[in-house]
Amino acid sequence: MDAKIQQRVDQLRKEINHHNYRYHALDDPEISDAQFDELMRQLRELEEQHPHLVTPESPTQRVGAPPIQGFAQVKHRQPMLSLANAFNIDELTAWHRRVSNLLGVDAFDMVCELKIDGLAVSLTYEEGRLVQGATRGDGYRGEDVTHNLRTISSIPLALLGVAPGRLEVRGEVFMSKDAFAKLNREREANDEPLYANPRNTAAGSVRQLDPAMTASRNLEIYVYSVGDRDDGGQENGTAADTHWDALEKMRSLGFRISPHNRLCRAIEEVEDYYRRWLEGIHDLPFHADGVVVKINSFQYQEELGFVGREPRWAIAYKFPAEQAVTKLRDIGINVGRTGSLNPFAMLEPVVVGGATVKMATLHNEEDIHRKDIRIGDWVTVERAGEVIPKVVGPVLSRRTEKLPEFKMPSECPICSTEVVKTEDDAQHRCPNATCPAQFFELFKHFVSKGAMNIDGLGEKWCAILIEQGLVKDLADLYYLKREQLLELDRMGEKLVAKIMDNIEASKSRPLSRVLFALGVLHVGSENADLLASRFHGIDEIAQASQEQFTGIQGIGPKIAASIVAHFAVESNRNVIDKLQKAGVKLEREESEEGQSAEPLPLQGQTFCITGALSGMSRSRAQARIKSLGGAAASSVTRKTTYLVVGQNPGSKVATAERLGTEIIDENALLQILDVAAR
Q: Which of these is catalytic: 4, 115, 402, 558?
A: 115
**How far apart are alpha carbons 225 and 237 in whole angstroms?**
14
| 509, 516, 524 from 451: Cα distances, Å | 9, 6, 10
**How far apart are alpha carbons 82 and 612 in whole angstroms?**
14
At 475 the three-state DSSP class reads helix
Kindly give the pairing relationship between strand 85-86 and strand 314-318: parallel
**Element containing residue 280 per DSSP (H, E):** helix 267-280
Kindly give the pairing relationship between strand 73-75 and strand 262-264: unpaired
Contacts of 35 (CB under 8 A, 6+ apart): none
Q: Check if 318 is active-site.
A: no
- Closest by alpha carbon to 119, among 130, 106, 133? 133
8 A C-beta contact, residue 503 and residue 437 = no
Handedness of CA 144, 150, 153, 155 (dihedral sign): positive
- Closest by alpha carbon to 308, among 675, 678, 596? 675
Contacts of 99 (CB under 8 A, 6+ apart): 108, 295, 304, 312, 313
At 143 the three-state DSSP class reads strand
- Strands (E) across 296-443 are located at 306-307, 310-311, 314-318, 322-335, 340-352, 355-361, 378-383, 390-394, 428-429
> What residues does 273 pair with on adjacent strands?
none
Q: Residue 143: what are its φ and ψ, rounded to 5°?
A: -110, 140
8 A C-beta contact, residue 141 and residue 202 = no
**How far apart are alpha carbons 519 and 334 in whole angstroms?**
17
**How far apart are alpha carbons 131 and 124 in whole angstroms?**
6
Radius of gyration of the chain (CA): 28
8 A C-beta contact, residue 231 and residue 283 = no
Instruction: Give the CA-trace dihedral at 328, 334, 338, 340, to 10 degrees.
Output: 40
**How far apart are alpha carbons 311 and 445 in whole angstroms?**
39
At 40 the three-state DSSP class reads helix
- Closest by alpha carbon to 328, among 263, 376, 372, 363? 376
**How far apart are alpha carbons 385 and 382 in whole angstroms?**
10
**How far apart are alpha carbons 72 and 167 in whole angstroms?**
21
8 A C-beta contact, residue 390 and residue 382 = yes
Q: Residue 327: what are its φ and ψ, rounded to 5°?
A: -95, 135
| 149, 196, 199, 200, 460 from 193: Cα distances, Å | 25, 9, 17, 14, 12
| 384, 562, 633 from 565: Cα distances, Å | 38, 5, 22
Question: What length does the chain have?
Answer: 678
8 A C-beta contact, residue 516 and residue 528 = yes
**How far apart are alpha carbons 417 and 436 in whole angstroms?**
11
Residue type, 167: L
Q: Which residues are catalytic?
A: 115
